Structure 1
Amino acid sequence: MFTKTEPMTSPNAPARPGANSKSVLAADLRIVGEITSSGQVEVMGEVEGNLVAKGLVIGAEGRVSGTVNSDIVEVKGVLNGSVKSQSFALRSTAEVQADVTYSTLTIESGAQIEGKFALNK
């Protein structure tokens, strides 16, 4: 199931497609291929392939395998592949096997990580 929410705007505000939007990929959804979004993507199901978005949240039951390019990444589930981000956060339930490039890194106690981490220069 796909859902996309748009923030409420005043009637006089100019339309900005995708600005501040959020797409949720439900737990019963499996996608193989590329995903591109100008807003935030929340993965509750499974994605295999490239994912480009302003923000990415991988839910506790979510799985992403592939290349991720996102300003903000928060992992609660499983991530395998490579990541380029400004802010990368691993929550306590995260399982990550990836090469990660980041500017800001947060790792909560309990997170399982394996891979190469490099600071953006």
Structure 2
Amino acid sequence: MASSSFSVLGSDIKITGNISASEDLHVDGSIDGDIHCGSLVQGESSVVNGAIEADSARLAGTVDGSITAKTLVILKTARITGDVHYDTLTIEQGASVEGKFAQRAHGSAPARSGADAESEPKLSLAT
């Protein structure tokens, strides 16, 4: 499909149950359940009680649950309780996270036999 789908859950919405969206999701309301989507934007007044799994996530509200995202941005208004798994991570000064941070293993295939593939962070310097 050429057009992108974008779903918005307003601040007056409260959902009990899991949410799955193949594209983009903007949440301002309250969710008691897990979220699985392509891209998640969470508003400051939003509350999510459940796990979040997304390609990219921009979080500004309250999350009580684990977060797994390739690209994760945690804004200064975010209050997160749970473990965070990411490929790339940005945290604004003032954000609150209670949990463990872990860089995700790249790809869905099992880890290679050598520990060097996952044990060291990737860093490149321009010369």
TM over 0.5: yes
**Counterpart residue type for residue 86 of structure 2:** Y
Looking at structure 1, the residues matched to 17 and 69 of structure 2 have their Cα atoms a distance apart, in angstroms, of 20
Q: Which residue of 1 aligns with 2:122?
A: none
Name the structure where strand makes up a greater proportion of residues.
Answer: 1
| Aligned residues: CA RMSD | 1.2
Looking at structure 1, the residues matched to 4 and 83 of structure 2 have their Cα atoms a distance apart, in angstroms, of 28
Looking at structure 1, the residues matched to 34 and 75 of structure 2 have their Cα atoms a distance apart, in angstroms, of 22
| TM-score between the two structures when normalised by the length of structure 2 | 0.79
Gaps of 5+ in 2: 106-127
Looking at structure 1, the residues matched to 31 and 90 of structure 2 have their Cα atoms a distance apart, in angstroms, of 23
Gaps of 5+ in 1: 1-15
Q: Which residue of 2 aligns with 1:83?
A: 67
Pairs within 5 Å for 1:41-52: 41-52=25-36
Deviations 1:61-87 (A, max 9, x none): 111110111000111111110111101
Deviations 1:1-59 (A, max 9, x none): xxxxxxxxxxxxxxx29x52111100000001011111111110101111110011110
When the two structures are aligned, how many residues end up with a matched partner? 105
Looking at structure 2, the residues matched to 111 and 100 of structure 1 have their Cα atoms a distance apart, in angstroms, of 13
Pairs within 5 Å for 1:4-83: 16=1, 20-83=4-67
**Counterpart residue type for residue 20 of structure 1:** S
Q: Which of the pair has more CA radius of gyration? A: 2
Q: Which residue of 2 aligns with 1:93?
A: 77
**Counterpart residue type for residue 25 of structure 2:** V
Looking at structure 1, the residues matched to 36 and 52 of structure 2 have their Cα atoms a distance apart, in angstroms, of 6
Identity %: 36
1:105 corresponds to 2:81: no
